[in-house]
Structure 1
Amino acid sequence: MALKYYEQIDRDNTKKLRELLDELPYFCTMYFRGIETTTSSRTRIAYARDLKIFFQFLIHENPLYKDYSPRDFQLEDLDQLSVTDLEDYLEYIKYRTDVFEDKHGNKIEKEVINSRTSIKRKVASIRTFYRYLYRDRLIKTNPADLLQMPKLKEKDIIRLDANEVADLLDEVENGEKLTRQQQVFHDKTELRDEAMMTLMLGTGIRVSECVGLNMNDVDFNNDGIHIHRKGGKEVTVYFGDEVENALRPYVEWRKHQVTAPGHEDALFLSLRMQRMSVRSVQYMVKKYAKTVTPTKHITPHKLRSTYGTNLYKETGDIYLVADVLGHNDVNTTKKHYAALEDERRRSARNKVHLRSDDE
């Protein structure tokens, strides 16, 4: 029996994690086993890569460990590190030079400059790592708790305006502004592209949730799709008439297609008759969006933000938006839509009258 999309992703990520762990100290395996139930496989891979950079930093920058390999580190070594050492690491990851091997085995130096968001994630990785080891009394000190998280400048949420949504869907339907080469492919993918774009704009689902859909996940009787959320939660997300009108013709077409082996259940197919990848959808969204709004960097996540904005404007219910978008913490939703909340509060200033107009 074929694995579901998210099961296959988890299996592939587990293999990648095992490869990374082969290059890390033995106690890292204990750590990842300990956080398995509270993190996604994708998050664990990101943490493992961050730890690899951390140990490489110690080897390259700290004279005590110049003869070490990452596998040589012991728990006692972590206890010798101070908050100053970790602050040096924080400075190191802002800008560094890494050595990579090309496909011919040649070593190439590459400059790596991390954004504040990336640095914050790497600091969080170290703090989580230390906190776990300290909590389980595997180390005696926890200098990582004294590390200051870098402050991030709040970014404006980029979203599509109502007229831009309409223009985008029109472009997906007719492809008039695409290049001549793109129009050749558009004739073959119009039905699929319109179904995917309308679905994402009309439900706010994540791109990974969209490409992970199987044929039997679509329920036209109840106007819903069954999706697998981050963290393993399975839910039904409901769609309106516009989504149904775009989805039905594609599903009908899809029923008669012969797929590549292993992709029989996939809802959205590439021209190779394989399940669409996240990268392919990202490219598709970018292709259409830049013909409609070239000054905005529109990604699948921006389509999700557009839906969340529209839903909040229509309902004014931040808890409903959080639930539909699949946010575990409503504060995450409030953070994203704080500007809209302020706009609503401003609109209330003249709603209550203290004296009647005829006095």
Structure 2
Amino acid sequence: MDYHEEQKKNDIKKLRELLFQLPEFCFEYFRGIEPTTAEKTRLGYAHDLRIFFSFLLEYIPSLSGKTIHDITLEDLDGVSAQQIEMFLDYLSYYEKPDEDGAVEEFQNGERGKARKISAVRSLYKYFYKKEKIKGNPAMLVSTPKIHDKNIIRLDVNEIARLLDEVESGDKLTKHQRVYHEHTRVRDLALISVLLGTGMRVSECVGLNLTDIDFENNGLRIVRKGGNESILYFGDEVEQALRDYLEQRKQILPLEGHEDALFLSLKKSRLTVRAVENLVKKYAQTVTQLKNISPHKLRSSYGTELYNETGDIYLVADVLGHKDVNTTRKHYAQIEDSRRRSAANVVKLRKEE
């Protein structure tokens, strides 16, 4: 089965399992939003709604003694906007027992709270529109203000040092160098692809051998939402890929992983987590002050592309942002710097 289809299937299975941990009316809700939402969005909503219903049972007196399965639409209709605001406050810090009975601590910042209130809003909106509840208190609750973070990225010199380290492995530990001997060529190709195209890590691990087009130096990827796109790469990425493919020919993959471009030492498709750990391992040898992830490599590419072209629409298109304002917000610092540099370009009085 195709990697992306496999991912969809797994998300659907996880959602079905979660649905049995939610009130019965949630079956109707998730069927209703299926045509307009992606699998991962629905799965995220299910996780967030489970937290919301657990909060209601714990803190709403009228629901005392009930279980999640006992919650009805009438109960949902009885929740006030103030109680939903209490839920947002609760998300700042709460505790839950894990499967072994040990207490786990959870914290949510403004982004985590915004995602969870979005799930609650979607639920209320659906049943209010269906006229199955009388009110929509979730719409009266403000979304937490999300403050823009400074973009953490590698500068040009750090990128060069990172690629040098992937090739040499000089700063790795003795234990890490043992594995580096077997993964160096693959790791260089993988990190070159991330840095040279700006693709998401999920798009990178989903690459198949048939997705490479050396005639046009393009990589076919599947974006979030399932749309296909072509990202183009330069000579350095081409060379790294060609070197890896020579090595890749000698590997006999596990059954079901024959098409995967990037393979683990176990000869199966690399996972997102594995790539995250791989990037972190090498990045720590280059900078201790920046917490570099695959997403930060994506930001590094976006920054360089914008610095070279000044075209925010091109950056948005290549990065796969549906709304250019998302891109503009992320790279606002660079735009501000460019505007400042323009201040001294225009001279009011020409020197003689």
TM-score with structure 2 length normalisation?
0.97
Within the alignment, does 1:216 sit opposite 2:203 as a pair? no
Q: Which residue of 1 aligns with 2:117?
A: 123
- How does 1:124-203 map onto structure 2 within 5 Å? 124-203=118-197
Q: How far apart are 1:347 and its partner, in Å?
A: 1.6
- 1:77 aligns with 75
Local SS of the residue matching 1:298: coil
Tell me what 1:234 maps to: 228
- Alignment root-mean-square deviation, CA: 1.2
Once the two structures are TM-superposed, the CA of residue 37 in structure 1 deviates from its matched residue by 3.2
Q: Which moved more, 1:42-51 or 1:216-225?
A: 42-51
CA–CA distance in 1 between the matches of 2:31 and 2:348?
62
Q: Of residues 282, 293, 302 in structure 2, which corresponds to 1:299?
A: 293
SS in 1 for 2:121: helix
Return 165-174 or 88-97, whichever deviates more.
88-97
Residue in 1 that maps onto 2:99:
101
Tell me which of 91, 94, 111 is aligned to 2:89.
Answer: 91
* Residues 319-358 of structure 1 aligned to structure 2 (within 5 Å): 319-358=313-352
Which residue of 2 is the match for residue 40 of structure 1?
A: 38
CA–CA separation in structure 1 for the residues paired with 2:130 and 2:321? 30
**CA shift for structure 1 position 62:** 1.4
C-alpha separation in 1, matches of 2:292 and 2:146: 21
How far the C-alpha of 1:351 sits from its partner, in A, is 2.6
Deviations 1:318-339, CA, capped at 9 Å, x for gaps: 0000000000011100110001
Task: Answer yes or no: is 1:260 the counterpart of 2:254.
Answer: yes
Show CA shifts across 1:56-84 (max 9, x none): 11111112112211122221111111111
Task: Give the structure 1 partner of residue 10 of structure 2.
Answer: 12
Change (3 A) 1:145 1:310: same
Q: Does 2:54 match 1:60?
A: no
SS at match of 2:102: strand
Matched, 1:285 2:279: yes
Number of residue pairs aligned between Structure 1 and Structure 2: 352
- Give the Å deviation of 1:355: 4.8
Alpha-carbon distance between aligned partners in 2 of 1:318 and 1:94, rounded to the nearest angstrom: 35
The CA deviation at 1:356 is 4.2
CA distance in 2, matches of 1:135, 1:338: 38
* Superposition deviation, residue 357 in structure 1: 3.6
Unaligned runs of 5+ in 1: none
| Structure 1 position 354, deviation (Å) | 4.3
Deviations 1:207-246 (A, max 9, x none): 0000000000011011000000001110111111111011
- The 3-state SS of whatever aligns with 2:314 is helix
Any idea what the Cα deviations from partners look like across 1:121-175, whole Å, max 9, x if unmatched? 1111111221222222222100001112222332100000100000000000000
Does 1:31 pair with 2:29?
yes
| Alpha-carbon offset, residue 115 of structure 1 | 2.2
Residue 261 of structure 1 deviates from its aligned partner by 0.9
Deviations 1:24-65 (A, max 9, x none): 122212222222233322221111011111111111111211
Structure 2: 5+ residue stretches without partners: none
